[in-house]
Amino acid sequence: MRHFFRRRLVLPAVAVVSFASGAFLFKNAQNAPITAAQVAQAEPLMGLSFTPAERDSMIDELTEQRTAYEAIRKVNLPNHVAPALYFNPLPPGFAFEKVRRPFKASPAGAVALPTNRDELAFYPVTHLAELLRTRKITSVELTQFFLERLKKHGPQLECVVTLTETLALEQARRADAEIKAGKYRGLLHGVPYGCKDLLAKKGYKTTWGSMPYKDQTLDLDATVVQRLEKAGAVLLAKLTVGELAWGDVWFGGKTRNPWNVAEGSSGSSAGSGASVSAGLLPFAIGTETLGSIVSPSTVCGVTGLRPTFGRVSRHGAMALSWSMDKIGPMCRTVEDCAVVFNAIYGPDGLDPTVFDAPFNYAPLPSLKGIRLGYLKKAFESDYANKKTDQATLDKLRELGAELVPIELTDLPFRELGFIISVESAAAFDELTRSNRDDLMVRQTKNAWPNVFRAGRLVPAVEYVQANRLRTMLIADMAARLRGLDAYLTPTYTGGNLTLTNLTGHPCVVLPNGFSDKGLPVSITFNGQLFGEAKLLAIAKAYQDATDFHRKHPPLAF
């Protein structure tokens, strides 16, 4: 869900509560009297200064607050329990589409089985669906094909936590029986997939990629898993996730990039990106809080959709940041993302942040009449992928799109990273207080254990103020994007990735070339809130005019 902070987090030398000796000092700190000297020591953490009289006057109130903390800590608050405060990405006056239209994919045309069966590994979902629908291949055959690839190449890429082989073959046999009987469910019927191991599946471990949870089982199916099962998709694997949704390092190793196995696949949807890139699965489910779909999609050369916040239920998914977590597909093509998203979006009555809004996807005949914004200063700056990005802008003009220069807000959005620190510290409060965070693989200063500790020291007032600033950012974005169908940004340059994760806007990231080292690079198409249908259609028009998504890792996959 979150892949990195571009800052260093260091615990202060003096704090109200010491974390150095774990639970013992927690207990002592709870019993020790609060003094005016301690208040004075805490003031630098807040950037404030009080008089001696003001410090003395606070002591009774602070003591009462600490007593309240102790009472709250006695209540079991599992990770899935959300705060009674819901992030709302809608600006004033926002209106949803009112008409719901049928999902409309591009015609598949005549799809034949390849002479070399290994080529099936890189068929898009839409082509596999046609082979299954016309019964040129069975779901069992396809499932066994991808299971063999997962078993053969998964260990080298370190991208699989658990194979769900028994379940997969049961689902595949059921799909074949239904298709044979004329009960075709749609484009995902019988198609294999994998999901990031933050999503629960009853009967299998859900490890969150973390040593303290490596044997955890949850007695439920995540809503996304349920909906894919309803669509007839076949779950083959729980895929690696950077520990507690950070990076590509997990309790079993480091997920590798199929384009260069000496490098990581980025994260935290590490296994999802690597497995799709290497042709081990036709598609996978990822999650993002701050780049965890965008980054591995970029590095591994796949196409990823990060939907609008409030589009897909997170029921049954690990919570990291309740106001920023999002779930989306990682696929070979833009239209595959549309197909998968069509199966998983919408309210379920279990995640109260999800809106009931239509998804009226249909391909565009051309980009003529489409108004695309682009971050002028960012594209004109000196950065690594400037050449490939400029080629993308040129191609979009050639396809008939009108490119409109825009800029992002002047408000200080990059400074809001501590929102994740606070919410993640709450999500893993028990892990910190029990001292089991010592079991985690990454123990550097810039790693979760220290982020969780530092997050506890963010004043509640500043957390609320930061979220009030988000309200201003949402309104600012609405004004800047008015009249645009979508807008283009360099994937990393210009701050758009951070901003849009804070405001909840959707994006599609897709390959648009290769670096000097021969590794994939990407471009990001960003949409209006709840504008995934038009966003995907625009991105598809560009992707159809290029062939970068048809390139595959040079290794023997």
- Residues that are catalytic: 196, 268, 292
Q: What share of the chain is helix, strand, coil (3-state, %, to 5)?
A: 40, 15, 45
Distance of CA 203 to the CA centre of its chain: 24
Inter-CA distances, 360 with 87, 231, 373, Å: 24, 18, 22
Q: Are 146 and 282 in contact (CB under 8 A)?
A: yes
In this structure, the strands spanning 402-406 and 507-514 are: unpaired
What is the distance between the alpha carbons of residues 240 and 274, in angstroms, rounded to a whole number? 9
Q: Are 316 and 200 in contact (CB under 8 A)?
A: yes
End-to-end CA distance of the chain: 27
Reduced to 3 states (helix: H, G, I; strand: E, B; else coil), residue 305 is: strand
Closest CA to 491 of 504, 480, 501, 476: 501
Reduced to 3 states (helix: H, G, I; strand: E, B; else coil), residue 24 is: helix
Closest CA to 413 of 475, 455, 489: 475
Taking the CB of residue 220, how many other CB atoms lie within 10 A of it? 15
343-361 burial: b if 16+ Cβ within 10 Å, else e: bbbbbbeebebbbebebbb
Residue with tokens 């690597």: 274
What is the distance between the alpha carbons of residues 86 and 166, in angstroms, rounded to a whole number? 38
Sign (positive or negative) of CA dihedral 528, 530, 531, 532: positive
Residue 32, token pair as written in the block: 């020790």
Taking the CB of residue 85, how many other CB atoms lie within 10 A of it? 9
Q: Are 389 and 380 in contact (CB under 8 A)?
A: no
Residue with tokens 């239920």: 313
Closest CA to 453 of 16, 1, 124, 7: 16
Inter-CA distances, 153 with 118, 255, 256, 277, Å: 13, 12, 11, 12
What single-letter amino acid sits at 449? Answer: P
What is the distance between the alpha carbons of residues 506 and 215, in angstroms, rounded to a whole number? 34
In this structure, the strands spanning 371-375 and 486-490 are: parallel
Taking the CB of residue 513, how many other CB atoms lie within 10 A of it? 18
